[in-house]
């Protein structure tokens, strides 16, 4: 069982390196003071307890290489259990698809969260930090839903993380998903351009809806194969909004198979008779093409065996 202990840090001074530069001070503190509520981080910033080069700074200040950072004593809560279970690490180690000096690509298993929190002790990033104890820097480049499997990028250098975030913002990274949708998808429906807005229900559950007041969202759809009750699709999310593919598919009247949040319960029940026990959404491929400096990587994650079995089942209808 995991128990929590409380520790106190003394005043510390840090010199910001080139890899740490150009990130907002509040984001830096969220990572540095793990387990400290964000409200407290902003409180010590407002009070001027955090200083850069002996001066007060705003939460939006971007750190520069060579900055001297003064950090006050902060109460932190951390877990005594710091290492994921061996079976978790073994599963994660087998899921690594690609690695170089600056990047890791993992074929994230379905059901595995990308990070801990909300009752989850460990996710992909915590597991990788345990697998790579000598690697000073490991950060998620993007996220995948817990229910989604496939390609997940993790940066081993902050400089690459910054470049990839910029590339995502410019829609210069191509992500390809395989999805199974209810019914017969129209061949002329090749793109969905519908803004998305996050909402929270009274229960606290987060949902995303199409709303003209939301953020722009575009998904491109290509039919791979049609079955009597469903259509296999290749999807390229041009933007990267939360739950984008799932919500766009439902918005067009073709919810994804196995989607418990946005899907069709009757269709999901029928799909369970065809051996589908999860969301049919898999991040199959990711292509990175950075110009300066030149960096090209293409990684493929094969469709998992359980999803292949579902397709075999549908072919017999």
Of 67, 145, 259, 264, which one is the catalytic site residue?
145
Cα gap 176→310, rounded to integer Å: 20
Cα gap 194→140, rounded to integer Å: 27
Cα gap 21→64, rounded to integer Å: 5
Question: 265: buried, middle or exposed (CB in 10 Å: 19+, 13-18, 0-12)?
Answer: exposed
Question: 109: buried, middle or exposed (CB in 10 Å: 19+, 13-18, 0-12)?
Answer: middle
Structural contact between residues 156 and 135, judged by C-beta atoms closer than 8 angstroms: yes
145 an active-site residue? yes
Structural contact between residues 296 and 290, judged by C-beta atoms closer than 8 angstroms: yes
Length of the chain equals: 317
Per-residue burial over 189-228, b = 16 or more CB atoms within 10 Å of its CB, e = otherwise: eeebebbbbeeeeeeeeeebbeeeebeebbbbbebeeebe
Q: How far is CA 67 from CA 6, 43, 54, 57, 194, in A?
A: 29, 21, 10, 12, 43
Closest by CA position to 193, among listed 175, 179, 212: 212
Structural contact between residues 127 and 88, judged by C-beta atoms closer than 8 angstroms: yes
**Which residues carry out catalysis?**
145
């Amino acid at each position: 069982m995991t128990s929590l202990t409380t520790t106190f840090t003394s005043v510390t001074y840090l010199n910001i390196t080139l890899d740490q530069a150009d990130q907002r001070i509040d984001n830096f503190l969220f990572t540095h003071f793990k387990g400290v509520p964000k409200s407290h981080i902003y409180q010590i910033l407002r009070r001027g307890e955090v200083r850069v080069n002996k001066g007060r700074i705003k939460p939006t200040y971007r750190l520069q290489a060579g900055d001297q950072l003064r950090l006050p004593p902060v109460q932190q809560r951390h877990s005594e259990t710091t290492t994921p279970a061996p079976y978790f690490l073994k599963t994660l180690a087998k899921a690594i698809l690609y690695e170089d000096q600056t990047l890791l690509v993992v074929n994230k298993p379905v059901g595995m969260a990308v990070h801990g929190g909300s009752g989850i002790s460990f996710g992909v990033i915590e597991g990788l930090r345990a697998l790579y104890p000598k690697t000073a820097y490991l950060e998620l480049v993007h996220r995948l839903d817990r229910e989604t499997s496939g390609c997940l990028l993790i940066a081993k250098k902050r400089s690459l993380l910054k470049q990839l975030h910029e590339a995502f913002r410019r829609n210069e990274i191509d992500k390809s998903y395989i999805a199974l949708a209810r019914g017969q998808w129209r061949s002329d429906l090749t793109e969905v351009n519908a803004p998305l807005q996050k909402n929270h229900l009274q229960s606290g559950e987060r949902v995303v809806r199409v709303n003209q007041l939301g953020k722009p969202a575009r998904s491109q759809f290509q039919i791979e194969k049609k079955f009597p009750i469903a259509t296999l699709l290749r999807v390229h999310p041009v933007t990267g909004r939360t739950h984008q593919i799932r919500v766009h598919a439902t918005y067009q009247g073709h919810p994804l198979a196995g989607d418990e949040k946005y899907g069709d319960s009757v269709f999901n029940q029928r799909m369970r008779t065809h051996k589908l026990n999860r969301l049919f959404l898999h991040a199959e491929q990711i292509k990175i093409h950075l110009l300066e400096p030149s960096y090209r990587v293409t990684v493929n994650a094969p469709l998992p065996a359980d999803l292949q079995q579902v397709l075999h089942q549908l072919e017999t209808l």
